[in-house]
Amino acid sequence: YQVTQAQWFEVMGDLPAIEEKLRGDDHPVVNVSWDEAVEFCRELTRRTGHQYRLPTEAEWEYACRAGTSTPFGFGPTLSPEVANYRWSHPY
């Protein structure tokens, strides 16, 4: 799940630099490094007693692929409609 700015502030005590148009308690926190996200998980674990962590690369890809079994989440091949690539060399 996305972490909201309000949740981040509650756990970390401050917010990263966020453009005014992207601010809002219910908006996702942005401009956070991997190390900061790991620290958020550690602090949340400490406060709640429940284990929190970032997903592994395999878990992230599985979630992004939405259960598909094709080489790409959108189908078996690339096309100019779904990706920006050198189309003269099809995948």
Q: Express each pLDDT in 41-91 by its tens digit.
A: 999 999 999 999 999 998 888 888 777 888 877 788 877 787 777 767 666
Kindly indicate the confidence band of residue 1, based on its pLDDT and cuts at 50, 70 and 90.
confident
57: helix, strand or coil: helix
The pTM of this model reads 0.71
Q: Amino acid identity, residue 25? A: D
pLDDT at 24: 96
Residue 74 pLDDT? 79
Over residues 8-53, the pLDDT tens digits come to 999 999 999 999 999 999 999 999 999 999 999 999 999 999 999 9
CA 1 to CA 50: how far, in whole Å?
A: 16
In the three-class reduction of DSSP (H, G, I as helix; E, B as strand; rest coil), residue 84 is classed as coil
